[in-house]
Amino acid sequence: MLIHSERLLLRAAEDTDAPFVTALFNADESVIAYGPHFPVSTRATLEKLHAPRSVSMIAQRLEDEAPAGLIRFWLSWGDTVMNVDDVIFSAEYRGSGYGREALGALLDHFFRRWGGRRVELQVRSHNEHAVRTYKGLGFVEEGRRRQVVPPGWGADTDPDYLLMALLADEFVPPKPRGGDSNEHQGH
Protein backbone atom coordinates (compact mmCIF):
# COMPACT_ATOMS: atom_id res chain seq x y z
CA MET A 1 0.00 0.00 0.00
CA LEU A 2 1.01 3.60 -0.46
CA ILE A 3 1.29 6.24 2.25
CA HIS A 4 -0.03 9.74 1.68
CA SER A 5 0.48 13.00 3.53
CA GLU A 6 -0.81 16.45 2.72
CA ARG A 7 1.69 17.13 -0.09
CA LEU A 8 3.56 13.87 -0.53
CA LEU A 9 3.20 10.25 -1.56
CA LEU A 10 5.50 7.68 0.04
CA ARG A 11 6.16 4.74 -2.25
CA ALA A 12 8.73 1.96 -2.51
CA ALA A 13 11.95 2.99 -4.26
CA GLU A 14 12.45 1.39 -7.67
CA ASP A 15 15.68 0.80 -9.59
CA THR A 16 14.72 3.73 -11.80
CA ASP A 17 15.03 5.99 -8.71
CA ALA A 18 18.75 5.15 -8.37
CA PRO A 19 20.03 8.25 -10.26
CA PHE A 20 17.88 10.51 -8.03
CA VAL A 21 19.09 8.79 -4.85
CA THR A 22 22.72 8.88 -6.05
CA ALA A 23 22.43 12.63 -6.63
CA LEU A 24 21.06 13.08 -3.10
CA PHE A 25 24.13 11.43 -1.58
CA ASN A 26 26.57 13.21 -3.91
CA ALA A 27 25.17 16.69 -3.19
CA ASP A 28 27.55 19.01 -1.31
CA GLU A 29 24.67 19.86 1.03
CA SER A 30 24.63 16.26 2.27
CA VAL A 31 28.08 16.55 3.84
CA ILE A 32 26.47 17.80 7.06
CA ALA A 33 24.79 14.44 7.48
CA TYR A 34 27.29 11.99 6.04
CA GLY A 35 30.63 13.80 6.21
CA PRO A 36 33.04 14.07 3.28
CA HIS A 37 32.95 10.90 1.19
CA PHE A 38 34.02 9.65 -2.22
CA PRO A 39 31.52 10.03 -5.05
CA VAL A 40 28.72 7.46 -4.92
CA SER A 41 27.93 5.46 -8.08
CA THR A 42 24.51 4.41 -9.27
CA ARG A 43 25.65 0.81 -8.81
CA ALA A 44 26.50 1.45 -5.14
CA THR A 45 23.08 3.04 -4.71
CA LEU A 46 21.38 0.02 -6.27
CA GLU A 47 23.21 -2.25 -3.83
CA LYS A 48 21.93 -0.08 -0.99
CA LEU A 49 18.38 -0.17 -2.34
CA HIS A 50 18.60 -3.96 -2.69
CA ALA A 51 20.15 -4.59 0.74
CA PRO A 52 18.35 -7.49 2.45
CA ARG A 53 15.78 -6.41 5.07
CA SER A 54 16.21 -2.76 4.10
CA VAL A 55 13.11 -0.77 3.13
CA SER A 56 13.67 2.27 0.91
CA MET A 57 10.87 4.74 0.30
CA ILE A 58 10.74 7.71 -2.01
CA ALA A 59 8.79 10.78 -0.91
CA GLN A 60 7.24 12.13 -4.09
CA ARG A 61 5.45 15.46 -4.45
CA LEU A 62 1.74 15.07 -5.21
CA GLU A 63 1.84 18.37 -7.08
CA ASP A 64 4.16 17.30 -9.92
CA GLU A 65 5.22 13.71 -9.01
CA ALA A 66 8.81 14.91 -8.56
CA PRO A 67 10.84 12.80 -6.12
CA ALA A 68 11.79 14.98 -3.15
CA GLY A 69 13.59 12.65 -0.76
CA LEU A 70 14.46 9.20 0.51
CA ILE A 71 13.74 7.43 3.80
CA ARG A 72 15.48 4.09 4.39
CA PHE A 73 14.98 1.81 7.38
CA TRP A 74 14.92 -1.77 8.60
CA LEU A 75 12.83 -3.52 11.23
CA SER A 76 13.93 -5.54 14.24
CA TRP A 77 12.49 -7.13 17.40
CA GLY A 78 9.70 -8.98 15.66
CA ASP A 79 9.27 -6.07 13.26
CA THR A 80 8.11 -3.78 16.12
CA VAL A 81 11.24 -1.58 16.17
CA MET A 82 12.12 0.63 13.21
CA ASN A 83 15.79 1.47 12.71
CA VAL A 84 16.12 4.51 10.47
CA ASP A 85 19.29 4.56 8.34
CA ASP A 86 18.67 7.48 5.98
CA VAL A 87 16.42 10.52 5.86
CA ILE A 88 17.56 12.78 3.06
CA PHE A 89 15.79 15.35 0.91
CA SER A 90 16.90 17.35 -2.13
CA ALA A 91 18.59 20.59 -1.15
CA GLU A 92 16.06 22.51 -3.25
CA TYR A 93 13.22 21.27 -1.04
CA ARG A 94 14.85 21.46 2.39
CA GLY A 95 13.22 23.77 4.89
CA SER A 96 9.77 23.46 3.33
CA GLY A 97 8.53 20.94 5.87
CA TYR A 98 8.77 17.90 3.60
CA GLY A 99 11.18 16.08 5.91
CA ARG A 100 8.91 16.31 8.90
CA GLU A 101 5.81 15.64 6.81
CA ALA A 102 7.23 12.49 5.15
CA LEU A 103 8.72 11.06 8.31
CA GLY A 104 5.53 11.95 10.17
CA ALA A 105 3.40 10.04 7.66
CA LEU A 106 5.69 7.03 7.88
CA LEU A 107 5.66 7.08 11.69
CA ASP A 108 1.89 7.41 11.75
CA HIS A 109 1.63 4.34 9.50
CA PHE A 110 4.17 2.43 11.59
CA PHE A 111 2.63 3.16 14.99
CA ARG A 112 -1.08 3.27 14.16
CA ARG A 113 -1.45 0.67 11.41
CA TRP A 114 1.57 -1.59 11.55
CA GLY A 115 1.65 -1.89 15.35
CA GLY A 116 5.20 -0.58 15.78
CA ARG A 117 6.49 0.28 19.26
CA ARG A 118 9.75 2.13 18.86
CA VAL A 119 11.80 4.00 16.26
CA GLU A 120 15.51 4.69 16.63
CA LEU A 121 18.21 6.52 14.72
CA GLN A 122 21.59 8.20 14.99
CA VAL A 123 22.30 11.78 13.98
CA ARG A 124 25.41 13.93 14.04
CA SER A 125 25.00 16.27 16.99
CA HIS A 126 25.83 19.39 14.96
CA ASN A 127 23.15 18.60 12.39
CA GLU A 128 20.76 21.09 13.95
CA HIS A 129 18.25 20.92 11.13
CA ALA A 130 17.87 17.14 11.41
CA VAL A 131 17.83 17.19 15.23
CA ARG A 132 15.01 19.78 15.15
CA THR A 133 13.10 17.66 12.66
CA TYR A 134 13.33 14.61 14.93
CA LYS A 135 12.60 16.49 18.18
CA GLY A 136 9.56 18.09 16.56
CA LEU A 137 8.15 14.61 15.97
CA GLY A 138 8.74 13.66 19.61
CA PHE A 139 12.10 11.89 19.38
CA VAL A 140 14.15 12.09 22.58
CA GLU A 141 17.89 11.87 23.05
CA GLU A 142 18.82 8.58 24.69
CA GLY A 143 22.56 8.78 24.46
CA ARG A 144 25.64 10.15 22.78
CA ARG A 145 28.42 8.35 20.93
CA ARG A 146 31.40 10.55 21.69
CA GLN A 147 34.33 11.47 19.41
CA VAL A 148 33.17 9.35 16.49
CA VAL A 149 34.03 11.80 13.70
CA PRO A 150 37.80 12.34 13.18
CA PRO A 151 39.25 15.84 13.85
CA GLY A 152 39.14 18.09 10.79
CA TRP A 153 36.52 15.95 9.07
CA GLY A 154 34.67 18.89 7.55
CA ALA A 155 34.59 22.44 8.88
CA ASP A 156 33.53 23.06 12.49
CA THR A 157 32.64 19.45 12.96
CA ASP A 158 31.21 18.27 16.22
CA PRO A 159 32.59 14.73 16.59
CA ASP A 160 29.63 13.24 18.43
CA TYR A 161 26.56 11.33 17.33
CA LEU A 162 23.26 11.46 19.20
CA LEU A 163 21.22 8.31 19.72
CA MET A 164 17.58 9.33 19.42
CA ALA A 165 14.42 7.25 19.78
CA LEU A 166 10.66 7.62 19.76
CA LEU A 167 8.01 5.45 21.45
CA ALA A 168 4.48 5.16 20.09
CA ASP A 169 2.89 7.34 22.80
CA GLU A 170 5.54 10.06 22.35
CA PHE A 171 4.83 10.59 18.65
CA VAL A 172 3.81 14.17 17.78
CA PRO A 173 2.14 14.09 14.33
CA PRO A 174 3.01 17.06 12.12
CA LYS A 175 0.31 19.71 12.03
CA PRO A 176 -1.51 20.16 8.72
CA ARG A 177 0.08 23.09 6.93
CA GLY A 178 -3.00 24.52 5.24
CA GLY A 179 -1.16 25.67 2.13
CA ASP A 180 1.77 27.52 3.74
CA SER A 181 4.76 25.94 2.02
CA ASN A 182 7.36 28.49 3.14
CA GLU A 183 6.79 28.39 6.87
CA HIS A 184 10.16 26.83 7.72
CA GLN A 185 12.35 28.75 5.32
CA GLY A 186 14.83 31.34 6.47
CA HIS A 187 16.60 29.47 9.33
Ligand X SMILES: CC(C)(COP(=O)(O)OP(=O)(O)OC[C@H]1O[C@@H](n2cnc3c(N)ncnc32)[C@H](O)[C@@H]1OP(=O)(O)O)[C@@H](O)C(=O)NCCC(=O)NCCS
* 116 vs 174, beta carbon nearer ligand X: 174
Q: Does 97 bind ligand X (CB under 6 A)?
A: yes
Number of residues that bind ligand X (CB under 6 A): 23
Sign of CA dihedral 8, 13, 19, 23: positive
Q: Give the H or E element holding residue 160.
A: none
3 state DSSP class of 141: strand
Contact 129, 160 (CB under 8 A): no
CA-CA distance, 60 to 98, in Å (whole number)? Answer: 10
Contacts of 179 (CB under 8 A, 6+ apart): none
**Where does this chain touch ligand X (CB under 6 A) — which range of 1-9, 130-138, 146-154, 165-173?**
130-138
Q: Does 30 bind ligand X (CB under 6 A)?
A: yes
Among 49, 57, 100, 105, binds ligand X (CB under 6 A): 100
Q: Does 133 bind ligand X (CB under 6 A)?
A: yes
**Rounded (5°) CA angle 164-165-169:** 145
**Where does this chain touch ligand X (CB under 6 A) — which range of 4-12, 74-82, 87-95, 149-157?**
87-95
Phi/psi class of residue 130: alpha, beta or left (left: φ > 0; alpha: ψ in -120 to 50)?
A: alpha
What's the min distance (Å) between Cβ of 41 and ligand X?
A: 19
What's the min distance (Å) between Cβ of 30 and ligand X?
A: 5
Among 87, 107, 165, 166, binds ligand X (CB under 6 A): 87
What's the min distance (Å) between Cβ of 129 and ligand X?
A: 4
Among 31, 33, 44, 172, binds ligand X (CB under 6 A): 33
Of the candidates 9, 10, 12, the residue with the CA atom closest to the CA atom of residue 49: 12
- List residues binding ligand X (CB under 6 A): 30, 32-33, 87-89, 94-100, 123, 127-130, 132-133, 136, 184, 187
